[in-house]
A and B are shown apart, each in its own frame.
Chain A
Amino acid sequence: MDDLTNEFVAESQDGLERMELCLTELEKRPGDAELVSEIFRAVHTIKGATGFLGFTRLQALAHTGEGLLASLRDGRIAVSAELISGLLALMDGLRAILLLIETTGTEGERSSDDDAELLALLAKLKAGEAAPELDLRSNGDTPSRNPGADFRVAAPIPAEASPNQHRTLRIDVEVLNRMMNQVGELVLTRNHILQSSPAAENFSELARRLNNVTVELRQSVMQARMQPVGHVFGKFPRMIRDLGKTCGRQVRIEFEGQETGLDKGLLEAIRDPLTHAVRNAVDHGIEPPEERVKAGKPVEGVVRLRAFQRDGAVVIEVKDDGAGISTERVLAKAMERGLVTPEQAAAMTERETLQLIFVAGFSTAKEVTNVSGRGVGMDVVRANLERVGGNVEVESRLGLGTTVRMRVPLTLAIVSALVVRSGGQAFVLPQNSLVELVYVPMRDRKSAVEQVGSAELYRLRESLLPLVWLSRLLGLEAQDCAEPRGFYIAVVEAGGRRFGLVVDDLKAPEEIVVKPLSGVLREIGIFSGATVLGNGGLALILDVAALGTRAGVRPAAESAAELDGTIEPARGDAAQIELESAMVIYESWKRGSGEIGRGSRMAMPLSAVERIERVPLSAIEYADGRAVLQYGGDMLPLEDEDEVLTEAGKDSDAMATIVICLRPGAGAPRRVGMVVRRVLDVSPGTLLPEDPELCSAQIAMVKDRVTTMHRVIAAHPGPPTMAILLEVA
């Protein structure tokens, strides 16, 4: 195929892509003349070029289409669903021929390549005849005489399989000019350096210049490669329209963050997974209209695509307001398929259960439909994303909707990072997960790290930071015991977790080029890639979020709010929505005036608890008969509801456990120390709806046991949780 034809195909495909967008828009705004003109132009351009290139079949089709569009433009016919479907069929027809030209060089002469039916359909539409048989619900399962239906079946092929689109890229001439300038600069600098010698006076200046030019050139190249994700979103309105008709759903699609830039290569990599996810959202997610009405939702379902950058990755969410995923059904199916054993299933959290849908061979569709439900959907999505170093997760609330969240790292990008050393090896910490660095000198080693059970904590200003020793986590031989010296804490935050990563040494920050790892090494799950350092050595890039998970660090604040955003829970359902939150459980013998018996469990929300201290009784002082504790330079009033202090008397050797929490009051919440008998546990619990007849206090279920909430603290909504640790006495 010669260059001219190549260019023609690429240009025509671009035109058809615009036409596709305009067509779905046109259905919403039938009176928009600008849209009609745009569509007309696309078809007209194709027709114009086909003449001298000698593609008669394409020309005939484009000509007929142009005639129809001219009638529409001049107002002789009106926009109708039939017309839009006919024009979409025309577009598919043109696309199919273009694809044929692109792959074979000819427009096809076989009998199956006959456009007579389509031409007749277009002529009929032009004559203003309605084409009622264009009901797309009969989508070609049965061999019908229905032209519209036949063309619909052919539709998905050209839209997805055109190789040309993926090989060419439009670049702003400005960007290209800038790149050329910078390359010129680079050549000049090289000449300078070649003529100079390292001993020359201006050598360091030349090196600096080389650095500047490299940085600028890199930015330009990156910019040229960046494409808005909207390019991929473009085909979805059409797809949703067709799918909605096929599945009998009323669906609307919404976009957000279309302008988010993503590297061209990655954009191609997410195209198919995204298509799968959107299909699933319509087919499995959105309920049929009658069910939606029964559930009290608007008849029209919404699929929302949102793209944004976070933590050095591009996140793309596909969110629907459909039926949600039933975890029970997922588990039942997984057991039926032998993917998990009943014991495993019992131990799985809701989140883990949902991720089962990404396992190969899993499909919960009650029956196989021709849209999705072949059980090859979500595992392919995951495989495709993982191939480019990304990942995918799903969140769902029964009755409210499902969110599929894809994360594509900027694998091809160059990121700034900090090189650290641990266990004699170099590792790379991406700068975007780094919060701050702390050096703990040798003399402070003992006092700085607090031991709580098996966990170690570092007090960073007002909060406690869980520490993770990188060398131990990776099973490297720790060198820290052998030669006593200080260490560094890299305070990192990723995936909602904040913790201190303990390393032996820090090196200079570097800009690194991320190289993907092979599948076997990716499977370890802790390294997101590798890089060649300035000194020529290799270093592995740490995946901070995965490190946190592996070390068992709890997320500081569950990202439960993520699903909220636009999908508001229906009012009536409020009581059923579990108010699950983390609680501190402690033992109490008395409450208020009355004895409630030994071993009673009380709880307060973890969000209200700032810190748990063990102090010797001798440290507790009394002012005006009230117990107080010196804490952080302040006087902390103590409340002794359980009369622990009274019982212990003045036995100065004993220790008291004090839960320091924020007590809501008239003004700002005040800090108060609750003296408790002992802290039993920290665990997620569910607040039960208050029932004054049954019990005067707020009750929560924690690990299947009834637990009384602390009467004052329970009502407190709580500040954002700080890094909390507890000491189980």
Chain B
Amino acid sequence: MDQTDPDAPWLASAPPRQEGERDLNLLLRLVAVGDEHAFELLYRQLAPPAYGVIRRVLRDPAQSEEVTQEVLLEVWRTASRFDPAMGSAATWALSIAHRRAVDRVRAEVAAAGREQKMAWPDSGPKDEVADVVEASLDRERVQRCVGQLTEVQRQSITLAYYSGYTYRQVSAAVGVTLAAVKSRIRDGLLRMRDCLGVS
């Protein structure tokens, strides 16, 4: 199948979307029965987003590597518990990745807690761009949808997801009520969901 537009060949055709998902789901099912090669293939697809988001949350490259390794081993170890009826393999694995990253941050904050209580939530968001694999389309697509959020929605979601703040910390950092943070995040995610789902 020849693609006429080398920059965005897959935009035109719907089928690869589902196939991409099925492909990962299938690989994960092979992983579940101990297929290391399938795991390697899965690694190639999921390690960059996992490492990317972990690094975004943790910042420290060495620590990020360590947590990424833990996450990928967790995917290997618990692959049999994945059920495609509940969602995609990518979502499953990346949920584990994000969860592990914030767990790490929160454990450290709790440990450092007493003397540096204020330092962490006030450090503020930095919208730095990590060194990126595939600059391009996926990033642009998500950014386009992020661009459709209101500034306060974007800020709350960024702080919660990319900085790993709890919503109480978001509330403290932004200076609005918990109820406001809740609804900003939810409204923003609803808008993102529709934006990503439609196009």
Q: Do A and B bind each other?
A: no
